[in-house]
């Protein structure tokens, strides 16, 4: 069968793919242009994962172009948006990040400069002359005049051309690495290894993100989720010790880069958690009713996400890391492969899909694409807000669905080992074997173990199969 192209993707000149999307009426009036066009840089025969990554990049560029047209206040844009805008300036000028850094300037260009008896540092002039409007931006900077958002993007684009340090946006892990290197000069020391383990636990729960206007919210949400999850496992004193270097790292980063963050350590209640909140069977049925009756695009994407979370005990961060090779809903046994960065190795697992298959076939990939375009804290917040709409209060978070999965397995008398495999439990519970994770999709779908897991997941959710 001919390949079906995703929404907004068009085939140009036989093999090249382009992202084309009409602007809203308001944007059309302001910029006098009807359609946003962005070359995807991949061919018609590219893999699904490469195509999805290119579409995500184009979608982010479209959202930024729309926001830039409708909003002229540079303070309303975050660092991540400024970084995206700078990359777009380079793309439109047929330039690449690091093109005129000392390390990456092409040899023929160096030879040309020497032959013309020009100073090697004239690479700065080359970069300036390559960028539209840079001289105007430079003049305004010298006079101390405020820059528009687009002018700030041009200024950053110049830095990305000549300064390798500006080539990539900062991430939480980069901030941590700087802190650890300064705090623990010997990275192999016992203290450094211990602190790195604390960071690994925290980032697996909070999720990675680039620095932007929403990063502080992401950090605080990650701190709160870390406390909620660890309370069932360790004493409060241990949680506080784990978080001390994390908080210190972000406070140092805020001071160094002038982010203006006020990092508030989370409250760590005394004693272990009082219990796990689960959805009752009527509440689960009410949740499914919402999913199957959702009408808006956003509602349908959230419905697909919550269907995965409910029947797999997944966290949103795990769903966001799915790709086309992990979503196998048309296989003989429909299933998802949860891999990538997970809290523990045991969380990497195979999940047979038994509830809401048709809806997930239609909307799960779009949902993942949306999730990959926003911060991980945004996923959890969106689910929490939707649960509040459904149930009329804020009793539940997305994590409650993981507890609900376990409660369903127990109450429906499911095979304990299979429930542990599907849920990805570690410790005394049994996780999925590494061999199964390495199976090809076809071989996996026909394996006896996956067939058995599929039947067990139907038992776990038998009270929902008739909804």
Q: Per residue in 160-209, pLDDT tens? A: 777 655 555 567 887 888 888 888 777 667 788 889 889 988 988 887 77
- The pLDDT of residue 118 is 47
Per-residue pLDDT band for 317 (boundaries 50, 70, 90) equals confident
What whole-number distance in Å separates Cα of residue 17 and Cα of residue 49? 14
Query: In the prediction, which pLDDT does 169 show?
Result: 52
Token pair listed for 232: 């069932």
Q: 274: pLDDT confidence band, cut at 50, 70 and 90?
A: low
Residue 394 is predicted with a pLDDT of 87
- Mean pLDDT value across residues 391-399: 89
In the chain the first and final C-alpha atoms are separated, in Å, by 34
Residue-wise pLDDT for 221-236, tens only, equals 889 989 988 888 888 8
Closest CA to 202 of 234, 249, 231, 243: 243
Report helix, strand or coil for 274.
coil
Alpha carbons 395 and 350: distance in angstroms, whole number? 29
Confidence category of residue 119, pLDDT binned at 50, 70, 90: very low
Name the DSSP letter for residue 336. Answer: E
Say which range, 1-10, 237-246, 413-422, has the weakest mean pLDDT.
1-10
Residue 115, pLDDT score: 56
Phi-psi region of 348 (alpha: psi -120 to 50; beta: other; left: phi over 0): beta
Is 210:171 a contact under the CB 8 Å cutoff?
yes
Could you tell me how far CA 104 lies from the centroid of its own chain? Answer: 30
Cα 251 to Cα 80, 238, 248, 285: the distances in Å are: 19, 21, 5, 44
In the chain, what are the domain boundaries? 9-166, 172-257, 281-460
Task: Return the CATH fold of 281-460.
Answer: hpI Integrase; Chain A (1.10.443)
Closest CA to 326 of 317, 315, 314, 335: 335
Rg (CA), the chain: 25
What values do phi and psi take at 152, rounded to 5? Answer: -60, -35
Take residue 447 and report the two structure tokens written for it.
């394996």
The whole-number pLDDT of residue 259 equals 79
Share of the chain above pLDDT 70, in %: 80
> pLDDT tens digit string along 328-383?
999 889 999 887 655 555 577 889 999 999 999 999 999 999 998 887 778 888 99
Per-residue pLDDT tens for 276-310? 689 999 999 999 999 999 999 999 999 999 999 99
Look at residue 467 in the predicted model and tell me its pLDDT: 55
pLDDT of residue 80: 63
Contact in structure between 323 and 48 (CB atoms under 8 Å): yes
SS3 content of the chain, % helix, strand, coil (to 5): 60, 5, 35
Alpha-carbon span 112 to 117, nearest angstrom: 9
> Which pLDDT score, from 0 to 100, does residue 103 have?
46
Residue 51 or 432, more confident: 51
Strands 327-328 and 9-12: unpaired
Check if the beta carbon of residue 446 is closer than 8 Å to that of residue 391.
no
- Please tell me the distance from the alpha carbon of residue 217 to that of residue 220, in angstroms, as a whole number: 5
**Calpha distance 337→353 (Å, rounded):** 11
Cα distance between residue 306 and residue 319, in whole Å:
10
Q: Which residues pair with 227 in a beta bridge?
A: none
DSSP string, 355-419: SSHHHHHHHHHHHHHHHTTS-HHHHHHHHHHHHHHHHSSS---THHHHHHHHHHHHHTT--HHHH
What distance in Å separates the CA atoms of residue 342 and residue 321, rounded to the nearest whole number? Answer: 9
> Which residues lie closer than 8 Å to 259 by C-beta, 6 or more apart?
211, 215, 216, 253
């Amino acid at each position: 069968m001919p390949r079906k192209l995703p929404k907004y993707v068009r085939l140009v000149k036989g093999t090249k793919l382009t992202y084309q999307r009409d602007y809203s009426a308001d944007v059309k009036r302001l910029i006098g242009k009807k359609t946003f066009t962005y070359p995807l840089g991949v061919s018609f025969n590219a893999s699904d994962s490469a195509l999805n990554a290119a579409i995500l990049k184009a979608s982010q560029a479209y959202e930024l172009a729309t926001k830039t047209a409708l909003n002229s206040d540079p303070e309303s844009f975050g660092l991540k948006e400024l970084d995206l805008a700078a990359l777009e300036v380079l793309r439109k000028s047929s330039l690449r990040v690091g093109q005129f850094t000392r390390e990456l300037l092409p040899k023929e260009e160096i030879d040309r400069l020497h032959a013309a008896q020009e100073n090697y540092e004239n690479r700065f002039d080359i970069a300036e002359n390559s960028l539209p409007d840079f001289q105007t931006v430079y003049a305004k900077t010298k006079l101390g005049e405020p820059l528009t958002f687009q002018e700030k993007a041009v200024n950053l684009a110049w830095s990305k051309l000549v300064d390798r340090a500006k080539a990539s946006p900062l991430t939480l892990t980069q901030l941590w690495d700087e802190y650890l290197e300064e705090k623990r000069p010997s990275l192999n020391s016992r203290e450094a290894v211990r602190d790195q383990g604390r960071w690994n636990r925290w980032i697996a729960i909070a999720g990675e993100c680039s620095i932007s206007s929403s990063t502080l919210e992401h950090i605080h949400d990650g701190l709160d989720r870390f406390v909620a999850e660890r309370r069932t496992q360790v004493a409060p004193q241990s949680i506080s010790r784990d978080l001390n270097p994390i908080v210190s790292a972000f406070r140092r980063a805020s001071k160094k880069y002038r982010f203006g963050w006020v990092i508030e350590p989370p409250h760590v209640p005394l004693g272990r958690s009082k219990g796990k909140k689960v959805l009752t069977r009527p509440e689960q049925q009410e949740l499914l009713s919402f999913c199957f009756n959702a009408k808006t695009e956003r509602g349908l994407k959230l419905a697909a996400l919550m269907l995965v979370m409910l029947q797999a005990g997944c966290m949103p961060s795990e769903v966001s890391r799915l790709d086309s090779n992990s979503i196998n809903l048309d296989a003989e046994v429909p299933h998802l492969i949860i891999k990538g960065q997970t809290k523990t190795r045991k969380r990497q697992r195979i999940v047979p899909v038994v509830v809401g298959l048709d809806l997930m076939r239609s909307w799960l990939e779009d949902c993942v694409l949306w999730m990959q375009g926003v911060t991980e804290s945004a996923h959890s917040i969106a689910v929490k807000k939707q649960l509040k709409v459904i149930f009329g209060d804020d009793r539940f978070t997305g994590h409650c669905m993981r507890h609900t999965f376990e409660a369903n397995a127990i109450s429906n008398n499911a095979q304990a080992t299979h429930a542990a495999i599907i849920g990805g439990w570690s410790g005394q519970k049994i996780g999925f074997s590494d061999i199964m994770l390495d199976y090809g999709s076809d071989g996996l779908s026909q394996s006896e173990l996956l067939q058995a897991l599929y039947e067990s997941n139907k038992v776990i959710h038998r009270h929902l199969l008739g909804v």
